[in-house]
Amino acid sequence: MSAEPQLFRINPENRESEKIAEVEFASLGFQERRDIQEWVAANPGSLGENLLIIGKEFSGFDRTDERLDLLAVDADGKLVVIELKRDDSGADAHWQAIKYASYLQRASADDIIRMLTEHTGDSEEEATNSLLQHLNTDDFNALNNDQRIILASHRFAPEVTSAALWLNEKVPGEDLITCVQLTPYRDVRSDSLYVQSNTIIPVPGMDEYIIGLGDFSNEIRSMTTKGVKLSQTIARNKNDKIPVFLREVSNRVRSSLPDDLRPNRKSKWAGMGRNFRYYKMWYSQPNWGVHRLCYLINLYQEQLGESTGWRANLGFRFRDGGIENLESILTDLQVYGDQWLNDPWDELLVTRRGSALDEPYADTLAETLRHFIEVVTPRIDEIVDAVNQQEA
């Protein structure tokens, strides 16, 4: 049984089939950069997923002159290094791409917008809107939270596929490296050329052949199984009961606050962590600069005896505010008498539990978040004003 892709021409009159010959890109005179790279840049969907190309022949690294083929953002906000080879990947294509991905791990939203403007010639505003539309959200909170690699070639050396499979196996639920086979064909009868695109790593569609329980806990566990892509899980869960409930909590909070304290941006749906769902509301005042404040709900499902309950960690994150500022704000929140958690992300969190995603639980969460906002936001304004004055 052949594992190689094949292409056949079907005669519609007599229903007979005829195999079309596989050829080499080199024999057709095609080049990696002049031809294959331009095809993929013009039609990134040929790599099997929704990608926004933000750079071509990118070389904007500060301590090396290396140049990557294509740079993209996927539907989850990850930066994607795309390395293209013509007829043979060579033995170290993966290592080359891994280096590029490591160089990009600290790229900010501003950096990515600048790359896109340089690639397309659009204005900063146009590039920002293109990115937001591509991500199907209204914020850059998930942008470049991770990086991944796509290798595309006619054939792959076993050194490359072995390394790709090993790396993907080491990080359950995440496909760090995707290998896409691009196979050229020539139909001598019509003198037509074809390219067949086929994802060979990870093996696609495995989750479609697996039956499991349909509750929330199993959805979360499925994220840690090999071959299940995060984007597929997100597509299923944008409008399930979790974001519907969290949007209702957010609406209650916003409607209870005066204009000067109301968060001016909110999530469109609930994001997904390792074993929880999250929802954020934040501010984007220009005078805050890098000091970004968001209020958040991290929602977990818990087993309570024979029944299921919910645990929400509510709080706020003051990005680049400094832990000393969080500690000073903590004193003002002690009126609730709760045990506050200070996690590694410089978030202050407090827990609220409920037996069901119902109105009483929504009221509890909304009241807690409203209290946070009334206490914290004015203090953040004071801190940011002081910092801006020192920097002026």
The percent of residues above 90 in pLDDT, for the chain, comes to 34
216 is a domain residue: no
Q: Give the three-class secondary structure for 55.
A: strand
Look up the domain containing 168 and give its range: 8-204
Q: Nearest CA to 283 among 321, 312, 318, 238?
A: 318
The region that residue 246 occupies, defined by phi over 0 for left and psi between -120 and 50 for alpha, beta otherwise, is alpha
Between 383 and 55, whose confidence is greater?
55
- Label residue 220 by pLDDT band (50, 70, 90): very low
With contact defined as beta carbons under 8 Å apart, do 41 and 60 qualify?
no
* Separation CA 26–CA 343 (nearest Å): 55
CB 357 within 8 A of CB 341: no
Q: What is the pTM of this model?
A: 0.57
Flag whether pLDDT at 213 surpasses 50: no
- Whether 232 is covered by a domain: the verdict is no
Residues 256, 120, single domain; the answer is: no
Whether residues 306 and 158 share a domain: the answer is no
| Better-predicted residue by pLDDT, 330 or 374 | 374
Q: Is the confidence at residue 206, as pLDDT, over 50?
A: no
Give 237-285 pLDDT, tens digit per residue: 555 788 888 888 988 998 899 888 888 766 666 777 667 888 888 776 6
Q: What is the pLDDT of residue 237?
A: 52
E strand or H helix at 195: strand 192-201
Confidence of residue 343 (pLDDT cuts 50, 70, 90): low
* pLDDT, tens only, 290-315: 556 778 888 988 876 777 889 998 88
> How many domains in the chain?
2
β-pair partners for 199 = 180
Write the DSSP string, 124-157: HHHHHHHHHHHHTSS--TTTTSSEEEEEEESS--
> Is residue 199 located within the same domain as residue 245?
no
CATH of the domain at 18: 3.40.1350.10
DSSP code for 375 = H
Residue recorded with tokens 């896409």: 180
Residue that terminates a domain, selected from 182, 204, 226: 204
Among the three residues 153, 188, 204, which one is the final residue of a domain in this structure? 204
Q: Say which residue the tokens 């597929």 belong to.
A: 232
Give yes or no for a contact between 76 and 231, defined as CB atoms under 8 angstroms apart: yes
Give all strands (DSSP E) within 113-176, no chain letters. 147-153
pLDDT tens-digit map of 4-16: 678 898 988 888 8
Task: Look at residue 338 in the predicted model and tell me its pLDDT.
Answer: 55
User: Average model confidence (pLDDT) for the chain?
Assistant: 80
Q: Is the pLDDT of residue 231 over 50?
A: no
46 pLDDT exceeds 50? yes
Give the residue with greater pLDDT, 375 vs 282: 375
Q: What is the pLDDT of residues 77-99, one digit of tens each?
A: 999 999 999 999 888 899 999 99
Please check whether residues 246 and 200 belong to one and the same domain: no
Residue 289 belongs to domain with CATH number: 3.30.1460
Neighbours of 293 (CB within 10 A): 24
Answer yes or no: do 282 and 349 share one domain: yes
Do 71 and 115 form a contact (C-beta atoms < 8 A)?
yes
Is the separation of the CB atoms in 233 and 350 below 8 Å? Answer: no
- The residues facing 8 across adjacent strands are 19
Q: Are 262 and 186 contained in the same domain?
A: no
- pLDDT (tens digit per residue) in 7-40: 898 988 888 899 999 999 999 899 988 899 999 9
Three-state DSSP state, 44 = helix
pLDDT at 204: 59
By three-state DSSP, how is residue 71 classified?
Answer: strand
